[in-house]
Amino acid sequence: MSIATETLRYGWKIVAGVVLTGATIYVADTTQERITQRDAIQVIMGTVERTMATQTGTNSDGSAIYAVAPPSFVRSWVSTNGMTGTNFAWMTNQVTNTISFYTDRAMMVDLDQKIKDLCPYYVDTNTVYDGTTNIAMLTVTGLFASLQIGDHTNQFTSIPCWTNNVGQTNCTTNAATFGPWAWRNYRVAWEERYKVLNVLTVTRQQLTVNSRYRYGDEYGTNYSALVSLISNNWSTAYGTNYAPAPGCWNFGVGDFSGGQIFAIEGWSSHADFGDKYFTTNLSKTVHYMTISDLLGYPDGSNGIYYFAFDSGGVPGISSNWTTLRTIALGYGSLITTQALNDANYNFPPVADDLPSYRATYRGWTLKDAIIVIDWQFNYCTNQYW
């Protein structure tokens, strides 16, 4: 007869009869030494969902593309046919991604490699903020050292340090060993995997940008006419324009000068970020972050200088990472092309009584662009230590 199971998340199951409620070992000052399957669930499912968060796209058949593929395990379990006497028989049941009453050591060894493979695809959250110069990725050696995991390099604890014959003359202390799972369940082994997974919360993906910029000078004797021209036709071909360039977006900056020439300023932007696909099994928030710089060259012939935007939602020129947009995607699977749409600066009123006016357009280069994804995971989320 088939083996009864209960449904977990992400298509996984657990054999029926396992107690899923109650305290786990992953709490501060726990004295619990016996490992239960509700403790194991945290590490197993925590690994599964963090692999799912590494999805980077989809194949033509709709299947997902992952940086670290989710684990999958097929096992053959033996049960009876439920009959007695001469009708009794053993039956082999094939199960997929199912947790049993006991620890599957081979599964846990395989999951160890998944955990290590995941580390370089997750971001060091201490380096993610507006103004940062380097959004760093995690490393196995860095995490094992900072969290004091196992040998502090790349091996989990296999058997913890222990002492025998305590209080006797032949008392000896046995040093901890490191490497694959031991054949006996030790609490520290589960705690170490939990701690590493707890830190893996944020991923990043590189963006491909389809965008354009503009550059040119225009003169006129009618200020209002120039303002109208820029306000209404900023995104159309006008003046001296260069062809679209990958990695640039269109923040036009008008320059100001005193004296006989009064230069007006305005801005407009247009950058398209391509589609991105995500797992629908996890909730997430997506942050668009960029590094930008000024395009073009200073023109000092008429005392012209640049304005740095610091209001109206427009980022200033910065060689550091800046958040442009945040999207609470929830369980959505796709971010379609996101555009920084054409917009216009509100020009100040100026009397049309000067001999001439000049409008100078500048753009911004987009040196780099990424999305940073903050995942709301369901397992290994309690930083109890």
What's the confidence (pLDDT) of residue 85? 74
pLDDT score recorded for residue 355? 64
**236: how many CB neighbours lie within 10 A of its CB?**
10
Cβ count near 103 (within 10 Å): 19
Tell me which H or E stretch contains 255.
none
pLDDT value for 244: 32
**What pLDDT does residue 207 have?**
81
Write the DSSP symbol of residue 180.
S
Beta-carbon contacts of 238 under 8 Å, excluding residues fewer than 6 positions away, are: 214, 216, 218, 229
Q: Please state, in angstroms and rounded to a whole number, the distance separating the CA atoms of residues 309 and 315.
A: 6
pLDDT of residue 215: 44
Q: DSSP readout, 157-172? A: EEE--EEESTTSTT-E
List, in order, residues 6 or more apart from 75 with CB less than 8 Å away. 94, 95, 96, 98, 100, 104
Question: What's the pLDDT score for residue 304?
Answer: 31
Helix H or strand E segment including 142: helix 140-146
Residue 237 is predicted with a pLDDT of: 33
Tokens in use for 102? 């006991």
| Assigned token pair, 352 | 């049309």
Question: Distance between CA atoms of 39 and 191, rounded to whole angstroms?
Answer: 9
pLDDT at 245: 34
CB-based contact 78:90 (threshold 8 Å): yes
Give helix then strand counts, H and E, for the chain: 5, 24
Taking the C-alpha atoms of residue 142 and residue 148, their distance in angstroms, rounded to an integer, is 10
The predicted pLDDT at position 281 comes to 92
pLDDT for the residue 154: 97
What is the pLDDT, as a whole number, of residue 290? 78
Closest CA to 365 of 250, 261, 287: 250
Over residues 225-259, the pLDDT tens digits come to 665 655 544 333 323 333 333 333 333 334 344 44
C-alpha span between 293 and 374 (Å, rounded): 26
Say what the pLDDT of residue 88 is: 77
Nearest to 341 by CA among 288, 249, 287, 269: 269
The parts of the chain modelled with pLDDT lower than 70 are 1, 165-167, 170, 209-220, 223-273, 292-319, 336-367
pLDDT tens for each residue of 140-196: 999 999 999 999 999 999 999 987 766 677 677 788 999 999 999 999 999 999 999
